[in-house]
Each structure stands twice: as C-alpha cells, then as structure tokens.
Structure 1
C-alpha cells in the first residue's frame, strides 16, 4: 500500500488526466462535454475490451497542464453520470494509451468477426479506394480466423482515408479497432512512397 501511495505521488502534472469509475455506457462525448468547462479538450479516449465494450475508464487530453489541473481539482471524487469519478494526472499522455502509430500504407483491423467471409470483406471495403491487399490472420493449427486482419493501400493518403472510413463500419455489429501498422508485404513507407 505504501508503494502504491509513493507511485501515485510520483505522477507529474501533464496535459492528460485519467478518468475512472465510469458507467460502461458513458461515451467519449459525455466525458468531453463535462471536461470542457475546465479548458480546451483535445481528445478523449475511452478504453474498450476486444468486443468494443467500455472498461469503465479512459483518458482526457487538454491543451495545457493548467486545464488538466483544474479538471483534477474540480472532478476528482465528484459524482459524474451517477458514480464518483476518479480523476488524476495520467502516467503518460493520451497518444501513448491509444497506441497511435505513425501513418503507413498498411492498416491493422482488430475485433474482426471470426466468421467473416469474402463477401463480408467486400462489403467492409466497399467505397474505399486504393486497397491493394487484405489479409485475414488464420491460426495454422486450426485453420480458423484469429479475429484480426491487415489491409495494404496504394499510398499513405489512401490509408488515412481508409482508416477514418473503417472506424465507422460495424461488420456483424462489431466495432473494429483500426490503426496504422508497419507489417506490410509492400515494404516500409520509406521504401515506396
């Protein structure tokens, strides 16, 4: 317990705050609306499990440390959407928690339905330009899908547009986790632009 208290004290003020003890139906928009009274909110990230369901906590990144400090002071242990919220300075800024990678021509798609078919993939990528290749990860022992895929695009700009479009799609009602990836059959972005 003493070690936990020491670690907690070592967290230095930064632009990002941790927000915990949230009901699972609280959205990023709900959090942003409340946090905007403390300063300019740059982004809100609610942590979700592999099914896309909230884990009851997230991160809010403000434009200044002062705004984050006001949020910690004004919100910690205050009732928010029916629960007492835990609001503290985060260990890292929000981009570290989101796992945001630098743009590339390859996208990682997580939370892909295990029973996805070629027809489903066609519908998923309908209207998305410059897709060169889509690979569903398959377990070599069982021959079953692993629940993720990679999609290669012709160029980085096409991948950026594809990322935004794919984040809005819900194959079989599942919310995809989409990010840039650097595992590509086309080589690294530096090799081919």
Structure 2
C-alpha cells in the first residue's frame, strides 16, 4: 500500500514531488486491462490529458502491474472523476482512485497508515472507508481481496495526517462490527516488524543436522521424553531419504523450551543436533539481515583507515605482486586486484593493512609513483 506524508493541497490535489495537481492513481485494476480500456472508462470526464498503465519493464513480459495514472488539466476535474470512480466496478473489479503521490520518501514514511483485520467478509471497500473517514481525510482505502473478489478479512487505510490515524486506532480497535472484534493498529512494514522476544511462548521447534541413518521413530521418541508432542516431521527428498532437518510441535510451551535446552548440542547417532525455536521465513530473513549489517559495521570499524584504494595498476600485476609491493609499509591482511568475468584486470584494487598508520604510510609512500597510484585510506 502506498504511504504518504501530509502534503500541500491546491484545489484538493497534491503538488509535492513534481506530481501534477490533477494526477490520479487508479489501483486494483483487472490484470488484462489495457490503456485504451482505462481511457475509455474515464472518457466521460473533461480534461483528461493522458492515461498510462504501470508495467513490469524489468522482465520481457511487460505485464500490467494492475495500476495506472489518469492525468487531468485541473484538480477540480480530477476531484469529480475520483468521487465518481472510486470504489466503482471496472471489468469485474472494484477499483481504487486516489491522488497520485510519487514521492518515495513520503510513501515509505508510514505516517497516517493504519492496518485493520478481523473484518467481516460482508464488509466491502466502500463500507470500510465509511467506517474510517469520520476520523479525518483518507487518501486511500484498500480491502485485501482474493482472486474471486471475496474479502480476505483485512485491509489498509491511509490518512492525510498521523493524528487522524491515531484517533481511528484509539476509537475502533477492539470494537465489534458485524459480530467480529476489530483489530486496528499502525501499519508496520514487514521489514520493520518486531519479532518475538526471547521470553515468548512457543511450541514449534526446528531441528537440523539430523543423522540420516537414524529411524524417525527413534528421534521422535527422544523428543517425547520432554512432553506430549502434537506433530513430528522430518523433511525428505523425492526418494524418501532424510534431508537432515525437521520440526516437532509440543502441546505445552514449557515442554518445548525444555526439549530445546536438552536436545540442542546433544549427540544423536553420528551427528550433534541443532535445535531452536521454529521461525517464520520473514523472521529468519530479518535476523540474517541484521547480523549481516552488524558484521559489516564491525568490519568497517575494524579496518577504518587501514584499507587503501589503488588505481592505475598495470594489467600484468598479480595479487601476489601487489602484496610484495606494499609489504614494506606494514602487515597486509588482504590484497585484491579487481577483475572482470574473463579474469582481466580492471586496473584498480584494494590493499588492507593491520593498522591505519600503515595504510597512511602506504598512501604517502606510493601515491603518484610509477606502476600504481594510491588514492586514499578508508
């Protein structure tokens, strides 16, 4: 869902980010809709200057991305089109029409964005907007739908201001609408979502480094010593052979924690088991990304001022010769000449010393000398 900051409005339309005041975004289009059909849908409104579909230009398919833009000569004409066309049916799909906000910083800010779930299947996008618009001006209202047009029971509402979003959350969260208790909260991007803390209750365990020669019944029996298991499964290939990992789900969280503590690092057959709380894919990616960033920062701090960028290196100079050439300035931890896919030198590389002082010495010693040129330490 698009995310926007509050923006200056002239006649109702945004003008930030170089977007025309009469530019509309049209979303949730039928995947096979053409620009000509979209233009036909808006032909009853005056002042349409251009119509464009978003397309997948990164691949050869050039398929529609199910959204487009309709531009008008004035914001007044765009307002009338938005009032008439928003939540209308077009080629069997309920479309969304809103002001076009193309400022990437605004879209990523999260300001004014609300997530709502546990909606009754009978609630449509129009009713969802009616439910929220009393708290402030809405820029967008999207109800998640299945391919057959049925509601998935959740949606997103984007307000012009953060104050409106907060008011909607405070008033609507926990209320009952059509026998369903709503959950309304600030929308959080998947990459920023808070994952369970170490004290969270869990029952599902992931086990890895399983000895493939062990019988599944034996492994299950070992885990059952810690409590009642609800399910147990070892991943297998197409030939029915163990892939060395699996999952065990306990009925009681305390039993699961004891099993993890007892089995992780234990010898089972010829292998030492790894057992941990089973994590969702998004959580694993988040943790790996965080560890990578921490490692990268650690490396940057460790070698800050010690890494020397070298250019104008002769084509026939090897990594070993580069080390030999610079070793008189100190202890070299790594040296690499950058090469293309065919192994041909690109004429530049990097030499990393054990201390920043050695790196500075190399720059002062070799900069401007024949064979190579040292540019800087970083």
Q: TM-score range by the shorter chain?
A: 0.3 to 0.5
TM-score by length of 2: 0.21
Which is greater in Rg?
2
Higher RCO (C-alpha under 8 Å, 6+ residues apart) = 1
